Amino acid sequence: MAEAHQAVNFMPSLTSDRGEVELSGPVWQEIYLSGLRSWKRHLLRFWNDFLTGVFPATPLSWLFLFSAIQLAWFLQLDPSLGLMEKIKELLPDWGGQHHRLRGVLAAALFASCLWGALIFTLHVALRLLLSYHGWLLEPHEAMSSTTKTWLALVRIFSGRHPVLFSYQRSLPRQPVPSVQDTVRKYLESVRPVLSDEDFDWTTGLAQEFLKLQASLLQWYLWLKSWWASNYVSDWWEEFVYLRSRNSLMVNSNYYMMDFLYVTPTPLQAARAGNAVHALLLYRRRLNRQEIPPNLLMGMRPLCSAQYEKIFNTTRVPGVQKDYIRHLQDSRHVAVFHRGRFFRVGTHSPNGLLSPRALEQQFQRILDDPSPACPHEEHLAALTAAPRGMWAQVRKSLKTQAAQALEAVEGAAFFVSLVAEPAGLTREDPAASLDAYAHALLVGRGHDRWFDKSFTLIVFSNGKLGLSVEHSWADCPISGHMWEFTLATECFQLGYSADGHCKGRPDPTLPQPQRLQWDLPEQVHLSISLALRGAETLSSNVDCHVFPFSHFGKSFIKRCHLSPDSFIQMALQLAHFRDRGQFCLTYESAMTRLFLEGRTETVRSCSREACDFVRAMEDQEKTDPQCLALFRVAVEKHQALLKAAMCGQGVDRHLFALYIVSRFLHVQSPFLAQVHSEQWPLSTSQIPVQQTQLFDVHNYPDYVSSGGGFGPADDHGYGVSYIFMGDDMITFHISSKKSSTKTDSHRLGQHIEDALLDVASLFQAGQRLKRRRRGPGDEDSGHRRGFISTKTVDSKAPRTSTPADPFQ
C-alpha cells in the first residue's frame, strides 16, 4: 500500500546533507550478517515451536512411533535391522538388572533418529513440491492432471491439521531472476511512457549495465540467496522503511475502515471494550498457533513470518536508521484521550479481562475530568516528525520520562479515543466518508503514536478504524487481523440491548494509570515544530472514498475475467482521462509464496493497456475492437501479476542489484536512473481473506470497507480498492491539495465512468445499461453512454451469525 512512496524515496535515505552515506563494511560481510540474522530467526522459531509442542511434529507422533517399535520388539521383530543392538552396545553397561533399561533407551534413541529423519524427508519433499508454480498459470476451474496430482501430494505431505507456522521450514526461497530477463522486462515496461529519444537513451544505459556491471552484482545476489532466507526482504525493510528519514504519517502509514453502513453500538467505551478484547483473542490464538495457515486459492500455503510482529511491536527512531523492537508479551494497552495518556491493564489474575471490564476501564478514562499537562496534549506529534528529529528528542524523554515512554512503547498496541464522531452520514454521505478517511489516515497529527505497529481508533459515535505502521508487515497481515476483529466483536462477543458489552462490570478493578510526562524545556519547542509540520502535512492530503454499487465481482467473473485486472485496466483509462497521458503505475503484489517474501511491483501500464485506452478514446473504434484489445490487456496484466508472485518481477531484483552496487561502490547510471523514477499512480487491492467470517451474500454491509494510503508522488494519486461482497467495490483515493495536477474527486468520477464504459463493452453490460436507462434518457457524457445511478442505501441489520472458523 504505502510502500510505493517509500520505494520512491529510499534513495534520499542513502544520502545526507554532506553527500552520499557510505554503507559500512564490504558486501560479503553484509551478506554474512544477513544470513546470520536469518538463522537466528530460524532458531528462535524452532525453540518457540518446541515449547509449544508443534516442532518438528507433535510429541504424540514420536510417542506413537516409539510405542510401535516397542511393540515390534515385544513380538520379537526388529524394525531397526540390527541398529538398536548396535546402539545398546554403545550405551554404558549398568549391570544385568538394567539390561531392559538399555533396550528401552536404545529404542528411544532409534525412534528419535527415525522420527527426525522422516520429518526432515517430509520437509524436503514438501519444499520441492511447493517450488512448483505451474498451477498458477492454469485456470482455477480447469486444473490439469499434473496440478491435481501435485495438490494431492501437497495435502498428504502437509499433515492432517497444519497450524500457522507449519509450512515455514518447507517454503522455497525466493529465486534470483535472470538479470537479462529483468532488464528486458524493465525496458518493455517503460516503453509506453517514454519518448523514442528517451527510450533509446535508457536502452543504451541498460546495455552498458549488462556488459559492465550486471554479472558481478548478480553473483553477490546469488550468493546471498543461498545463505540468507530471502535475498531481498531484509534489505527492503532496512533501506526502504527503516532508513527513511521522512515522517511516518501519510508516507508510511495506512488505514483500515470499519463497516460502511453499520455501527454495532453507539457507545464509544463499549465498542472499544469489545474491539480490544477481540484483538487480544486474536493475539492469543496467534501465540497458540490456532490460526490456520493462509492458502492462496485454497491450495498453496503462504509465508506467515510477518504475523510474528503484529502485537507488542514499536518502530524506534534512530538518527540514521530506525529499528523494530518486538516484545514477547505485553499485558497492557496505551490509551490516548483528550491529550492525556493512560496505561490500561488487559489481564487479571484469572486471565484476559472481559469485554465489559475493558469497557468499564475505557469509560473511566472518558469520564476523567483531569486536564492534559502542558505540552502533553501534542506530545505524540513527535512520532509524526522527521525521524532524525524524533530520535534526538526521544533521548531526552528516555532520561526524563522513561516510565511513561516505556508504557507506550511496550504496550500491546495503542488505542486512541477520539472526541469527535466519524463515519457515513445520511445528510452528506460523500463528504462524511472523505472526512472519515482523512481522520483515519492523519487525524489531528497528535492523537496517535505512529511508531506503534498499529493504533486502534475509536470515535465518539462508536465508529472504529485502524492506523497501521508499514515497516513490520504488509497490508494482508493487518487485514487478516482486522477481519477477525470486526467479525468477533460484532458477531461472537456481541452487545446487550442497551449497547453495552455483555457481562457485568468489575468494581474491584483499579483505575487506569495516568502516565506522567516530565518534559524537559528543550522538548517543548520540538513538540511545537513537530505539531506544525504534522498539521501542514495533514491539511495537504485530499482523501476521497466512494462505494461503486453498479456492479461488482460477480459481474466481472461472469465476463470470465480477473476482477483485479478488470479494475487495473479501468484505472488506466480513468487516469488517462484525468491527466491526458500514460504514467508508470505501481500495483503491489505479494511474494509470500516464498520464505520471508513480502511484495513485488506489478507495472500495470503495459503497451497492451495503452492500446486499449487509446481505442476507448478513439470514436472510430467499435465496441468489438475495444473489447478485443481489453481482453489482450487483461491477459497481459495477469501474466505480469503471476510473474511477480512467482519471484520473476522487475523492481525487487533491480533494487537488490542497486544495494549491492552501493556496497561495492560501483557506479551504475542505469540503476540510478531506474531508482529515480516516480510513480504518479500507486494502486493496491485490499483482499478479503476470511469470507467464512461474513455472510456477504445476505448481508454485504457487514464487511470492512477497506482502507487507503497516501500518494507516492506529490503530483500523483494513491488508489486502493476492495470488493465488498459480490456487487460493490469501494475505492479510496488520495492526492496532495498542493498539486495543481491532481484532484481526488475528479479522478473518482473518472474511475466510475471508466468502469461503466468498460462494462458496456460486454453483452451483460449492455443489458445493464438498457435496464438503467429510461426511454427518453440521454447519454451521460462519457464515451459509451452508461448512465450513473449511484445511491447510498442503509442496509437492514443483521440477524444471523456466521460460524467461527477456528472452532
User: Residue 38: its pLDDT value, please?
Assistant: 76
Average the pLDDT over 232-260 and give the result: 94
| pLDDT grade for 703, boundaries at 50, 70 and 90 | confident
Distance from chain centroid for Cα 494: 27
Beta bridge partners of 729: 548, 723
Answer whether 686's CB lies under 8 Å from 706's CB.
Answer: yes
Omega cis (within 30) before 79? no
| pLDDT grade for 11, boundaries at 50, 70 and 90 | low
Q: Which of 151-160, 314-323, 798-807 has the highest mean pLDDT?
A: 314-323
Whether the pLDDT of residue 636 is over 60: the answer is yes
Q: Could you give the 3-state DSSP secondary structure of residue 240?
A: helix
User: Residue 104: its pLDDT value, please?
Assistant: 79
* pLDDT greater at residue 684 or residue 791: 684
Q: 374 and 397: one domain?
A: yes
Distance from chain centroid for Cα 419: 29
Q: 443 and 373: one domain?
A: yes
**What does the pLDDT look like over 564-603, one tens digit per residue?**
999 999 999 999 999 999 999 999 999 999 999 999 999 9
Residue 784 lies in a domain: no
Q: Is 652 exposed, middle or buried (0-12, 13-18, 19+ CB in 10 A)?
A: buried
Q: Catalytic: 470?
A: yes
Q: Which contiguous run of DSSP H or E holds residue 514?
A: strand 513-514
User: Residue 522: its pLDDT value, please?
Assistant: 85
State the sign of the Cα–Cα–Cα–Cα dihedral 217, 220, 226, 231: negative
CA–CA separation, 584 vs 349, rounded Å?
56
Determine the Cα angle at 128 with ends 125 and 130, to 5°.
Answer: 110
Whether the pLDDT of residue 477 is over 60: the answer is yes
Residue 701 lies in a domain: yes
CA–CA separation, 488 vs 485, rounded Å?
5
State the sign of the Cα–Cα–Cα–Cα dihedral 713, 716, 722, 723: negative
What's the start-to-end Cα distance of the chain, in Å?
Answer: 32
User: Residue 804: its pLDDT value, please?
Assistant: 38
Whether the pLDDT of residue 186 is over 90: the answer is yes
Amino acid letter, residue 273:
G
User: Residue 780: its pLDDT value, please?
Assistant: 41
Q: Cell digits for 454?
A: 498499529
Residue 778 lies in a domain: no
User: Residue 83: its pLDDT value, please?
Assistant: 78
Average the pLDDT over 250-272 and give the result: 94
73-77, 494-498, 672-676, 786-790: segment of lowest average pLDDT: 786-790
Q: 333 and 476: one domain?
A: yes
Q: 343 and 195: one domain?
A: no
Residue that terminates a domain, selected from 111, 129, 158? 158
Whether the pLDDT of residue 13 is over 70: the answer is no
Q: 274 and 336: one domain?
A: yes
Residue 163 lies in a domain: no
User: Residue 416: its pLDDT value, please?
Assistant: 98
Share of the chain above pLDDT 70, in %: 88
Q: 314 and 443: one domain?
A: yes
| pLDDT grade for 717, boundaries at 50, 70 and 90 | very high
User: Residue 641: its pLDDT value, please?
Assistant: 96
Determine the Cα angle at 284 with ends 253 and 312, to 5°.
Answer: 40
**What does the pLDDT look like over 398-427, one tens digit per residue?**
988 999 999 999 999 999 999 999 999 988
Q: 718 and 627: one domain?
A: yes
Whether the pLDDT of residue 607 is over 60: the answer is yes
Q: 344 and 367: one domain?
A: yes
Average the pLDDT over 61-68 and give the result: 79
Contacts of 766 (CB under 8 A, 6+ apart): 760
Q: 480 and 603: one domain?
A: no
Q: 131 and 247: one domain?
A: no
Secondary structure percentages of the chain, helix, strand, coil, to 5 = 50, 10, 40
* pLDDT greater at residue 6 or residue 194: 194
Answer whether 235's CB lies under 8 Å from 6's CB.
Answer: no
| pLDDT grade for 237, boundaries at 50, 70 and 90 | very high
Question: Chain-wide mean pLDDT for the chain?
Answer: 87
Average the pLDDT over 109-131 and give the result: 84
CATH number for the domain spanning 492: value is 3.30.559.70
* pLDDT greater at residue 83 or residue 235: 235
Residue 129 lies in a domain: yes
Whether the pLDDT of residue 467 is over 60: the answer is yes
Residue 792 lies in a domain: no
Query: In the chain, how many domains are there?
Result: 4
| pLDDT grade for 8, boundaries at 50, 70 and 90 | low
Contacts of 212 (CB under 8 A, 6+ apart): none
User: Residue 18: its pLDDT value, please?
Assistant: 43
Residue 786 lies in a domain: no
Amino acid letter, residue 218:
Q
**What does the pLDDT look like over 640-675, one tens digit per residue?**
999 999 999 999 999 999 999 999 999 999 999 999
Answer whether 695's CB lies under 8 Å from 798's CB.
Answer: yes
User: Residue 775: its pLDDT value, please?
Assistant: 45
Q: 194 and 280: one domain?
A: no
Give phi and psi for 300, each to the nearest 5: -110, 120
Distance from chain centroid for Cα 491: 24
Q: Cell digits for 668?
A: 551504475
Residue 109 lies in a domain: yes
Domain that holds residue 354: 239-293+302-542
Distances (CA, A) of 48 to 42, 44, 328: 10, 6, 11
Catalytic-labelled residue, pool 470, 500, 575, 637:
470
| pLDDT grade for 295, boundaries at 50, 70 and 90 | confident
* pLDDT greater at residue 209 or residue 150: 209
| pLDDT grade for 29, boundaries at 50, 70 and 90 | confident
Q: Cell digits for 383?
A: 512520532
CA–CA separation, 335 vs 485, rounded Å?
18
Whether the pLDDT of residue 54 is over 50: the answer is no
Contacts of 402 (CB under 8 A, 6+ apart): none
Q: 422 and 471: one domain?
A: yes
